[in-house]
């Protein structure tokens, strides 16, 4: 038997285009005499479709698409994800389903049982869980088909009461197939491999696993579809961050040898590729080809510039440096050198005149007051406005250059450096930004070494350094990671008794994170690479008073 893994990049809601892509893969499968070609979860509409699922007309168009796919299954079987009406009088109106078509007929529809409703997932918002378990028989094989989360309930502490494979295994299947929509976060690749290998070993069955690929706004799908043999060895693995189509010869009597392709699993390299894909897909899918960013001569904008240049082409990334009276000469020189290294267009637009005119305009109102953070914010906001004006005039999307450490503690100006259509490194802590810069320079200088080696500064007042207001980044990032990713309260963090983690500092940082929820609420979409990014996946009440 020949089984194909079809790993595609879908556009959410673009049902007709998704369907055309699916049909093209089906034709390819036929040409190669494939028996079953497998697509990912909710492939016809793209994942996650969110509240588009509330529109009855949306579901109807998915049904039309599925009908077209069904009609294309002459001499091939197809397994494809799509929504289905529940037809029950009780419960949610939809199922998240996998359609098994062969010989232009629906052989069976399999509905998803386990509906993740945590972090970025909201499936219980839309779908009714399946309660019926039956394998599909096809060409002498008995196939246990599940959808994504259905294979994830293997922990000692189970999140769900039912484990679909525990039900299906009673029917003695010969193979497992799983249709997924499993997003990337930086330690998730290994987690997913390990979990799927565990499934193969637990049930003693080979597993065909198909994921989608591509960035959908903030959520990045990395692909990595795979075939795992019954001993839990990864026999075939699809590309990461690319569409792929892999045909696997397999029958239930035969166990393949391991020829698992070598893919670098150096974290920062995967993060790099994820961000490049995320930028490229966001621009492509919202219809932009050019970017503009404020290039300060600091590490954050440098890394964003390099990533954007790789994703969009360097000449499509306009860099503007906007010096003020507090900017060092070095900053402008370094930003310019970076643009030259990359080959990007570059301009210098000083903000002095605009800043002075704000001060003059506000002088009558501000009479008798002292300069404070107001004037620092005015500089950041003048820059934001200049970038937005450039964007309006020439159609370049503004890239936001904030990192996760800054947005965690609110070391940023709303409507100033928080401007932008997309935050590229907003899910990377400052230390990870440095690591990424070194990775970008792995074959030689792209980001000027001066930028990597200078001390971080917002340059909003004379001789300002980030370390005036914040602990050193290695300490800050550690506290943030324990608080945000690990969900430890300040007492637990202090109790770890690690260097720099004094009660004063930890409490101060935790309080800063809490108090800046209101700023993050208005942040741009952020490419998600960790398992706990700000945004969709971390929902804190703004008005809360709670002392962690």
Binding to a copy of itself, residues 290-349 (CB under 8 A): 347, 349
- Per CB under 8 A, 452 contacts a copy of itself: no
- Per CB under 8 A, 426 contacts a copy of itself: no
Residue of 257, 372, 455, 504 that binds a copy of itself (CB under 8 A): 372
Identify which range of 97-105, 179-187, 223-231, 350-358 contacts a copy of itself by CB under 8 A. 350-358
- Per CB under 8 A, 546 contacts a copy of itself: yes
Residue of 328, 489, 508, 511 that binds a copy of itself (CB under 8 A): 489
148 is catalytic: yes
Question: Which of 403, 372, 392, 385 lies closest to 520 in space, CA to CA?
Answer: 403
d(CA 493, CA 403): 22
Give the CA angle between residues 531, 533, 538 to the nearest 5°: 100
Residues 25-54 as x/- pattern, contact with a copy of itself by CB under 8 A: ---------------------x-xxxxx-x
How many amino acids of this chain bind a copy of itself (CB under 8 A)?
A: 95
Residue of 374, 467, 469, 502 that binds a copy of itself (CB under 8 A): 374
- Per CB under 8 A, 266 contacts a copy of itself: no
CA distances from 486 to 157, 489, 520 (A): 18, 9, 20
With contact defined as beta carbons under 8 Å apart, do 98 and 147 qualify? yes
- Per CB under 8 A, 362 contacts a copy of itself: yes
Residue of 43, 175, 332, 386 that binds a copy of itself (CB under 8 A): 386
d(CA 186, CA 531): 7
Buried b (16+ CB within 10 A) or exposed e, 214-229: bbbbbbbbbbbbbbbb
With contact defined as beta carbons under 8 Å apart, do 62 and 98 qualify? no
Residue of 223, 421, 426, 471 that binds a copy of itself (CB under 8 A): 421
Minimum Å gap between C-beta 93 and a copy of itself is 8
Q: Which is nearer to a copy of itself, 444 or 541 (CB)?
A: 541
d(CA 510, CA 487): 11
Question: Which of 458, 337, 322 lies closest to 390 in space, CA to CA?
Answer: 322
- DSSP class of residue 50 equals G
249 is catalytic: no
- Per CB under 8 A, 538 contacts a copy of itself: yes
The two three-digit tokens of residue 408, written as one number: 């965690």
Q: Which is nearer to a copy of itself, 267 or 492 (CB)?
A: 492
**Three-state secondary-structure class, residue 350:** coil
Q: Which is nearer to a copy of itself, 364 or 444 (CB)?
A: 364
Q: Residue 205: left (phi > 0), alpha (psi -120 to 50), or beta?
A: beta
41 is catalytic: yes
Catalytic residue selected from 21, 112, 246, 478:
112
- Per CB under 8 A, 251 contacts a copy of itself: no
Minimum Å gap between C-beta 286 and a copy of itself is 6
d(CA 460, CA 469): 13
Kindly give the pairing relationship between strand 136-138 and strand 175-179. Answer: unpaired
Minimum Å gap between C-beta 35 and a copy of itself is 33
Question: Which of 279, 275, 148, 277 lies closest to 214 in space, CA to CA?
Answer: 277
d(CA 181, CA 47): 7
Residue of 31, 90, 329, 504 that binds a copy of itself (CB under 8 A): 90
Minimum Å gap between C-beta 213 and a copy of itself is 14
Minimum Å gap between C-beta 73 and a copy of itself is 26
Minimum Å gap between C-beta 456 and a copy of itself is 23
Catalytic residue selected from 21, 25, 41, 238:
41
Residue of 144, 271, 293, 419 that binds a copy of itself (CB under 8 A): 419
Q: Which is nearer to a copy of itself, 436 or 484 (CB)?
A: 484
- Per CB under 8 A, 132 contacts a copy of itself: no
Question: Which of 82, 59, 71 lies closest to 23 in space, CA to CA?
Answer: 71
Minimum Å gap between C-beta 480 and a copy of itself is 15
| Burial of residue 453 (number of CB atoms within 10 Å: 0-12, 13-18, 19+) | exposed
Residue of 40, 130, 197, 217 that binds a copy of itself (CB under 8 A): 217
Phi, psi of 464 (to 5 degrees): -70, 140
- Per CB under 8 A, 87 contacts a copy of itself: no
Q: How many CA atoms lie within 13 A of 307 on its CB side?
A: 34
| Burial of residue 148 (number of CB atoms within 10 Å: 0-12, 13-18, 19+) | buried
Kindly give the pairing relationship between strand 94-102 and strand 77-85. Answer: antiparallel
Site for a copy of itself in 152-191 (CB under 8 A): 156-161
- Per CB under 8 A, 365 contacts a copy of itself: yes
| Burial of residue 441 (number of CB atoms within 10 Å: 0-12, 13-18, 19+) | middle
Minimum Å gap between C-beta 33 and a copy of itself is 34
- Per CB under 8 A, 17 contacts a copy of itself: yes
Q: Which is nearer to a copy of itself, 316 or 377 (CB)?
A: 377
- Per CB under 8 A, 524 contacts a copy of itself: yes
Residue of 373, 465, 467, 472 that binds a copy of itself (CB under 8 A): 373
The catalytic residues are 41, 112, 148
């Amino acid at each position: 038997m020949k089984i194909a893994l079809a790993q595609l990049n879908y556009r959410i809601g673009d049902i007709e285009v998704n369907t055309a892509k699916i049909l093209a893969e089906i034709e390819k499968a036929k040409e190669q005499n494939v028996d079953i070609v497998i697509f990912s979860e909710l492939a016809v509409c793209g994942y996650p479709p969110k509240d588009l699922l509330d529109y009855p007309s949306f579901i109807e168009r998915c049904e039309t698409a599925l009908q077209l796919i069904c009609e294309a299954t002459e001499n091939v079987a197809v397994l494809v994800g799509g929504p289905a009406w529940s037809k029950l009088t009780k419960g949610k109106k939809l199922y998240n389903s996998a359609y098994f078509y062969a010989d232009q007929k629906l052989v069976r529809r399999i509905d998803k049982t386990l509906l993740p409703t945590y972090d970025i997932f909201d499936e219980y918002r839309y779908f009714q869980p399946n309660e019926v378990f039956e394998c599909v028989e096809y060409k002498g094989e008995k196939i246990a088909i599940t959808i994504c989360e259905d294979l994830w309930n293997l922990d000692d502490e189970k999140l769900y009461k039912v484990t679909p494979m525990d039900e299906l295994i009673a029917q003695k299947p010969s193979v497992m197939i799983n249709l997924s929509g499993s997003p990337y976060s930086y330690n998730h690749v290994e987690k997913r491999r390990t979990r799927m290998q565990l499934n193969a070993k637990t049930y003693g069955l080979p597993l065909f696993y198909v994921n989608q690929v591509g960035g959908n706004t903030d959520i990045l799908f990395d692909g990595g579809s795979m075939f795992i043999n019954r001993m839990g060895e990864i026999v075939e693995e699809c590309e990461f961050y690319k569409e792929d189509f892999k045909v696997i010869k397999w029958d239930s009597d035969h166990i393949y040898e391991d020829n698992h392709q070598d893919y670098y699993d150096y974290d920062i390299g995967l993060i790099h590729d994820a961000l490049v894909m995320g930028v490229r897909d966001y621009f492509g899918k919202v219809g932009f080809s050019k970017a503009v960013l404020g290039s300060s001569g600091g590490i954050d904008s440098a890394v964003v510039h390099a990533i954007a240049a790789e994703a969009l082409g360097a000449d499509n990334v306009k860099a503007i440096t906007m010096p003020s009276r507090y900017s060092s000469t070095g900053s402008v020189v370094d930003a310019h050198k970076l643009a030259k290294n990359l080959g990007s267009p570059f301009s210098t637009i000083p903000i002095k005149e605009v800043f002075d005119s704000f001060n003059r305009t506000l002088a009558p109102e501000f009479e008798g007051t002292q300069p404070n953070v107001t004037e620092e914010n005015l500089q950041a906001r003048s820059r934001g406005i200049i970038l937005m004006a450039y964007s309006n005039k020439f159609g370049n999307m503004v890239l936001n250059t904030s990192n996760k450490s800054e947005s965690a503690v609110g070391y940023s100006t709303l409507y100033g450096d928080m401007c932008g259509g997309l935050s590229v490194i907003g899910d990377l802590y400052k230390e990870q930004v440095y690591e990424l810069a070194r990775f970008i320079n792995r074959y030689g200088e792209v980001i000027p070494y001066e930028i990597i080696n200078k001390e971080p500064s917002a340059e909003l007042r004379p001789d300002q350094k980030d370390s005036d207001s914040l602990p050193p980044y290695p300490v800050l990032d550690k506290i943030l990671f324990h608080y945000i990713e690990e969900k430890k309260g300040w007492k637990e963090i202090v109790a770890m008794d690690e260097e720099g983690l004094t009660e004063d500092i930890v409490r101060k940082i935790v309080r800063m994170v809490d108090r800046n929820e209101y700023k993050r609420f208005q942040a741009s979409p952020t490419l998600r690479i960790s398992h706990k990014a700000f945004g969709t996946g971390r929902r804190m009440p703004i008005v809360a008073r709670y002392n962690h």
